[in-house]
Amino acid sequence: CRAAGPARRSKRQYSRCFKMTTHVRQQIRDAAVTALTNLTTTGTRVYNSRVYPMQDANLPGLRVFTPSESSHVISMGSSRTRERMLLLVVEVCVKANTAYADTADLIAKEVEIALDNNNTLGGLCKMIEPSSYEEELFGEGEHPITVGRMRFDVTYNTSKGAPDVAT
């Protein structure tokens, strides 16, 4: 890192040598949280965690997490490129006696539109596509809680030795 002067360093070399940022996976998760903040129904109640406790003050709200990823090499050589397929999960959490499914569907629509409008999350990924939706109802307590689990397939690339830089 010291051998090459600042003017001769590539973006990836600079990143590796001086300011290791977060993994692109985390950057994508953070960008998704930003893209989903201030939706009409959930407002700022968007949490970057699958285990965030959803109290009454946090509902309706969203939990965003990335539970799995797979990858494969798409170009060989010294700067090998890896294509990664990330599972992005957005949980829609609603507490209500009636119309909970309608509210969850409304929020799911807002989430999908927000991610479609920012389909590369500022250039971090190649694309985001919805892949599935499932809903669970937890009927304990005075008001049932509905959790709609939206799954999105996120495709992005990184180079060998630079998992913090999207390519």
pLDDT digits (tens, 9 = 90+) for 119-153: 999 999 999 999 999 999 887 666 788 999 999 99
Digit-coded pLDDT (tens) for 5-45: 444 444 444 444 545 589 999 999 999 999 999 999 999 99
For the chain, list the strands marked E by DSSP.
46-47, 61-75, 81-95, 127-138, 145-159, 162-166
Please indicate, yes or no, whether the overall pTM of this predicted structure exceeds 0.75. yes
Average pLDDT over the chain reads: 88
Measured CA to CA, the distance from residue 155 to residue 86 in angstroms comes to: 6
What is residue 2's predicted lDDT score, i.e. its pLDDT?
45
SS3 122: coil
